[in-house]
Structure 1
C-alpha cells in the first residue's frame, strides 16, 4: 500500500511541474482535503515561502500563450484566475508592445499566402479575432508582407 501524500507535498508536486495560480492550485487540492487539513494555511505558507507566486504564474502563462494568442485572450485567461489587478496591468503593458508582431507571426504561419480577395481577407481576419488579437494588430498583420512577396522582390 502506498503511503498517503500530504496536502502540502501534493501542492509542491503540482508546483514542481508548472506554475499555478492560487485559485487553480486550490481547485486541484480540494478533492484531497481531509478534516484536519487547512487548505488556506497551506496556500498562505506556499506564497510566503515563494513556492506559489502570482507574478511567476502570469509570466509563465504569457510565455506559453503569447506565440499563439492575442492580448484579449491572454488577459481574459489571467483574469479568470483571479489575479491581482497589478499583475494583470503589468502583463498588459508587456503585451501591448508585442501584439502586432505576434499577430503577424501567427497569421503568416497559418496563411503563408496573402489574401487574393475580400473573402479570404475576412477569413484571415476572423482567424486572428478568434485568437484574441486587437483590431489594430489584425490590420497590421494583414498589411505585412508574406513569404512569397519577399521571394518575388
Structure 2
C-alpha cells in the first residue's frame, strides 16, 4: 500500500498514459525509479509484518524490473498501453514538421516501426509536407547558393529525403503538389 500522498506504481502509469500515449520502452524508463522505491517499500512492509508475527517473510522478493514488467503487461492486456496508438499519435504529431527518416528514427528509438500503410501515406505526402514547412520557414526561393544550402540543411535536419529536398529548394515539381 502506498504512503498517503504518494501514488502507487499503477496510478503513476495511468496518470502518465492519461496525459498522452507512451511506448512501453518510454513508460518503463519513466517508471523504473518509482518501481525501485515501490518494491523496496513492499519488501520492507513484508519483513516488518513477518517480524511482528514472529515468522519468516512469506513475500516473494520481486525485483523492480519484474514488478514493472507485470504492470506493463497488465496495462497492455487492458488496452491502456498500445503500441499501435503510440505509433499513430507520434506520426500524427510529427508529420507536419518532420520527414519520413526523422519519424522512423524516432519510432526506432522506442523499439517500434510504422506499418506498411502508414509508411506509404508518409511517402506519398512527404513532398507536400516539406514544401509547406519550407514555405512557412523561408517564404520563397533563396537568392544565392549559400541561401539554398541553408534551406537544404534545414530540411535535411528535419529528416526529409535528398530527392524531396532537391525538388523543394529548386522549385521542381510544384505542379505535382497541387
Q: TM-score range by the shorter chain?
A: 0.7 to 0.9
Corresponding residue of 2:23? 21
Say if 2:123 is the partner of 1:75.
no
Q: For residue 92 of structure 2, what is the aligned residue in structure 1?
A: 63
Paired with 2:173 and 2:125, the residues of 1 have a C-alpha distance of 18
Cα distance in 2, alignment partners of residues 97 and 55 from structure 1: 21
The range that moved more, 97-106 or 137-146, is: 137-146
> Could you say which structure has the greater relative contact order, defined with CA pairs below 8 angstroms and 6 or more residues apart?
1
Q: Which structure 2 residue ranges, 5 or more long, are not aligned?
A: 43-63
1:21-43 CA-to-partner distances (Å, cap 9, x unmatched) read 00000011011112246111110
CA RMSD across the alignment: 2.0
Give the alignment of 1:1-153 within 5 angstroms. Answer: 2-33=4-35, 34-35=38-39, 36=42, 38-83=67-112, 85=113, 87=114, 89-142=116-169, 143=171
Moved over 6 A (4+): none
Question: Cα 1:82–1:47, aligned 2, differ >3 Å: closer, same or farther?
Answer: same
Q: Is the 8 A contact 2:100 2:159 kept in 1?
A: yes
Max Rg structure: 2
TM-score (norm 1): 0.85
* Partners of 1:56 and 1:14 in 2: CA distance: 15
Asked if the contact 1:75–1:88 (Cα under 8 Å) also holds between the matched residues in 2, the reply is no
Conservation of the 8 A alpha-carbon contact between 1:70 and 1:133 = yes
**Given that residues 65 and 74 in structure 1 are in contact (C-alpha distance below 8 angstroms), is that contact kept between their aligned partners in structure 2?**
yes
Tell me, which stretches of 5 or more residues in structure 1 are unaligned?
A: 147-153
